[in-house]
Amino acid sequence: MSLLCVCVAATAQDHDPDSTDVFYKHLQLNELVVTGLAGDAKMGEMPAPVSLIRPADLSARTGGNIINVIASEPGVSEITTGGGISKPVIRGMGYNRVVVVSDGIRQEGQQWGDEHGIEIDGAGVHSVEILKGPASLMYGSDALAGILIFHPEPIRAPGEFGGSLSTEYQTNSGLIGYSLSAAGNLDGWLLGGRFSDKYAHAYRNALNGPVSNSGFRERAVSALLGRNGSWGYSRLRFSYFHLTPGMIEGEGDNYSYSPALPFQQVRHYKLVSDNTFQLGPGNLKIILGWQQNRRQEYEESPDGPGLDFRLNTLHYDLRYQSRFGNGWKTAFGLAGMGQISDNLGEEYLIPSYGLFDAGLFATASKALGLWTLSGGVRADVRWLHSKELAGRFDPFKRLFPGISASLGAVRPLGRHMTVRANIARGFRAPNLAELGSNGEHEGTFRFELGNKDLRPEYSLQGDLGLDFSSRYVSVQSALFVSRIDNYIFAARNGAVSDEGLPVYAFRSGLAHLAGGEVALDIHPIHQLHLSSAFSCVYAREKEGSDLPLIPAPRLFSEVKWEITHEGRLFNNAFLSLNLDWNWAQNHFYAAGGTETATPSYLLLGAAAGTDLVIRGKTRLSLYIIGSNLTDKSYMPHLSRLKDIGVCNMGRNVSFKIVVPW
């Protein structure tokens, strides 16, 4: 995926903040300006699939976390552990194959682990961009499946100061959440801050009743200090995220808001310096970041953790973007990170380690008649040093070089159609869990063994898309075929640990993936939208067996009635009804009993919302969102609780209020 480090270029510093949602709502996809590594471009000119979840769409959804909220998008799914923990999956690939970007840097929170989610405050997410396909040009190792970019709230216009108070209640888990934000622009000086708090007791479903220890507590703080000028801008962002989830073991429980043993404490600190300087015909961008992720598992006593991981990460990103004669847009730079991971607990799963990587890249794009061409190349190297622990881990060193490249083209076919094609090579180095695990993975019900001989994954993927847009109908379609050498996954090897747990060993092989997405929107009149989105992935090894953790084919359909009355009491009102149909997953990795088949299920949802306008300004926004209204008992194929017979959440109704000021 070339040039697709995408950020919304049309931010609120160029628009009235009160009209931001309206701006996103009415802007056509092909006209939306985004920013790639080679500079600004229209989304309609991107050669590989890119989708945007707008602020209004986020407000009309609900979930226990931000990944849960966006998982209904075509090609996106989630690996779930109850109501509070979700990990993103794009086109059948997750964990270290998906890069999550927040505050301009990749989120590094030991994402190899199953039993914790993404350390991002959903209340502070303004919009989300989803990039599907190999994107190693931007972030080096790991982006084989794609990238999720979480955009913060836009910078306010000069002289403006304001904020919002939002609150939410969910009936099933008793979730109570609130978030308070404030931001201002004082003659180019930028100030901002947010505090969020959320807690939930055990969720319930018709089959299991209350699900043992599925409650959680989440708290987040963030701050912004910056300066805008004719020379560019400089911004310093700080955030702190704290999650306390219970660890579900399948036994009955009450509705306490305090997790019982076993539970986790996950803390994530982040400091990012984001700077852009006008320099000659282009701009020089310098991003420096620091993150610390601390994950502790309390199994026997709340006084001391068993597993205790501390991960420190330093990021650097220096790139120059410019335009020059005859319509060329180019970018080149150096980016990478360094990490130190320590084991501070009494139990061990992976060894302590040090890591450093660096990548040199260059990209370019140019319009040639009706064609828009883009491409790039990147060279990466990652050094990895595992530390010794007598009797448990032997030290080892590995060096992983990688070359990534892409070439894409977009061409309109008449007034209403666009064809796009892209071919990309991606690269992913094995993570420490895959290389060096040797211990019980608490909360995953298994003992894991790493493989020090694993080699990097290399993918070669082709994407082909065809879009149609008219006054009454729009269609977006995307197909992909991918070959991944040395595809790494964990499988049961038939052994049992001393603790009586099945042993999972990491292995690799040649994998082939194919699938795509088709989204249809019919709007016979301005207010009415009839939409459907279908996505599927098929993934197999060369030997013929199916790969694990591949989502079932899915069809999500919605009927939505929108009522927009600018300046009246009720504005941007809507009513919607949706059906979420998940096919049976009969293609699963059966060797050793690693996976089993999953039956199909159909979920019914509905939503309604409106803005209350008084004296020409929005004073209040109200939303009522219902999910699984038939109280269906179901287990998704990617649920980690499927093996112990625990279903996902039953009927749930969410009430949300947002008060801007």
pLDDT in tens, 155-198: 999 999 999 999 999 999 999 999 999 999 999 999 999 999 99
High-pLDDT (> 90) share of the chain, % = 69
The strand ranges marked E within 262-327 are: 263-279, 282-298, 307-324
Which pLDDT band holds residue 442 (cuts at 50, 70, 90)? Answer: low
Give pLDDT, residue 426: 93
d(CA 605, CA 627): 4
Token pair 């994530």 is found at: 268
Give pLDDT, residue 51: 87
Range list of H helices, 396-479: 432-436
Whole-structure pTM over 0.85, yes or no? yes
Task: Compute the average pLDDT of residues 456-484.
Answer: 95
Give pLDDT, residue 615: 84
CA separation, residue 100 to residues 88, 109, 138, 151 (Å): 9, 10, 12, 11
Task: Answer yes or no: are the C-beta atoms of 329 and 292 closer than 8 Å.
Answer: no
Flag whether pLDDT at 7 surpasses 50: no
Which pLDDT band holds residue 644 (cuts at 50, 70, 90)? Answer: confident
Token pair 């990170």 is found at: 337
d(CA 55, CA 24): 8
Give pLDDT, residue 5: 38
Give pLDDT, residue 494: 82
Which pLDDT band holds residue 460 (cuts at 50, 70, 90)? Answer: very high
Task: Compute the average pLDDT of residues 87-109.
Answer: 93
d(CA 298, CA 280): 55
Task: Compute the average pLDDT of residues 307-335.
Answer: 91
Task: Answer yes or no: are the C-beta atoms of 374 and 2 closer than 8 Å.
Answer: yes
Give pLDDT, residue 254: 64
Give pLDDT, residue 565: 73
Give pLDDT, residue 134: 86
Structure tokens belonging to residue 538: 């098929």
d(CA 554, CA 408): 28
Q: To the nearest whole number, what is the mean pLDDT of the chain?
A: 89
Structure tokens belonging to residue 240: 């702190």
Task: Compute the average pLDDT of residues 345-371.
Answer: 92
Which pLDDT band holds residue 391 (cuts at 50, 70, 90)? Answer: confident
Give pLDDT, residue 25: 37
Task: Compute the average pLDDT of residues 378-404.
Answer: 92
Which pLDDT band holds residue 27 (cuts at 50, 70, 90)? Answer: very low
d(CA 426, CA 482): 10
Nearest to 136 by CA among 353, 392, 400, 339: 400
Q: Spell out the residues 6+ positions from residue 161 whose beta carbon is closer than 8 angstroms to its own.
A: 182, 183, 184, 185, 186
Flag whether pLDDT at 253 surpasses 60: no
Structure tokens belonging to residue 209: 């009743």
Distance of CA 418 to the CA centre of its chain: 27
One-letter amino acid of 10 = A
CATH fold for the domain made of 12-660: Maltoporin; Chain A (2.40.170)
Give pLDDT, residue 188: 94
Flag whether pLDDT at 409 surpasses 80: yes
d(CA 627, CA 602): 11
Task: Answer yes or no: are the C-beta atoms of 509 and 489 closer than 8 Å.
Answer: no
H-run or E-run covering 576: strand 570-582
- Higher-pLDDT residue of 85 and 480 is 480
User: 3-state SS string over 375-391?
Assistant: EEEEEEEEEEEECCECC
Sign for the CA dihedral angle at 136, 140, 146, 151 comes to negative
Flag whether pLDDT at 84 surpasses 90: no
d(CA 365, CA 409): 10
Give pLDDT, residue 570: 87
Q: Spell out the residues 6+ positions from residue 541 whose beta carbon is closer than 8 angstroms to its own.
A: 487, 509, 510, 511, 512, 547
Instruction: Please give the angle made by the CA atoms of 569, 182 and 608, to the nearest 5 degrees.
Output: 35
Give pLDDT, residue 520: 96
d(CA 331, CA 137): 11
Query: What's the half-sphere exposure (Cβ side, CA atoms, 13 Å) at 528?
Result: 6
d(CA 85, CA 89): 13
Domain ranges of the chain: 12-660
Structure tokens belonging to residue 106: 């990749």
d(CA 68, CA 81): 11
pLDDT tens-digit series, residues 547-592: 999 999 999 999 999 987 766 888 889 999 999 999 999 999 998 8
